[in-house]
Amino acid sequence: MAKTLDYQITLYPAHRDGAFVVTQFQMMASYPEKRIQAAGMDDLIDKVTQFAMEHGESCSASVRCLAPRKPPGFKRATENLYFNLVDRTAEKRGDAAACPPTGNLRGGLA
């Protein structure tokens, strides 16, 4: 059985913009946090998912292992944790259509 370790979860605002996921982070801002204990990666992911679903908003979860050594598979299991993503592609397309192109995009002389 896997050893129980302490973790800290932080949820950052995120949304989908086309094929990309955009995470918003501001210095000195406060974000939802929770400390948990989990035994193994499956237990950890279940607890992170539960916390994100309780939060209910579009977010990216950052998980920090508070133990001196990270367990095997920690990075792979926690590198892309996105929940409840809202697609804002249509909003951006409307803004881009309203703005005419400016400058020479090739970088050469106009």
- DSSP code per residue over the chain: -PPEEEEEEEEEEEEEETTEEEE---TT----EEEEEEESHHHHHHHHHHHHHHH-SSEEEEEEE-SSSPPTTHHHHHSS-EESPPB-HHHHHHHHHHSPP-S-TTSS--
Q: What is the pTM of this model?
A: 0.76
Average pLDDT on 64-89 reads 91
Q: Which of 13-17, 38-42, 101-105 has the lowest mean pLDDT?
A: 101-105
Q: What pLDDT shows up at residue 4? A: 92
Average pLDDT on 70-87 reads 91
Q: Which has more confidence, 102 or 92?
A: 92
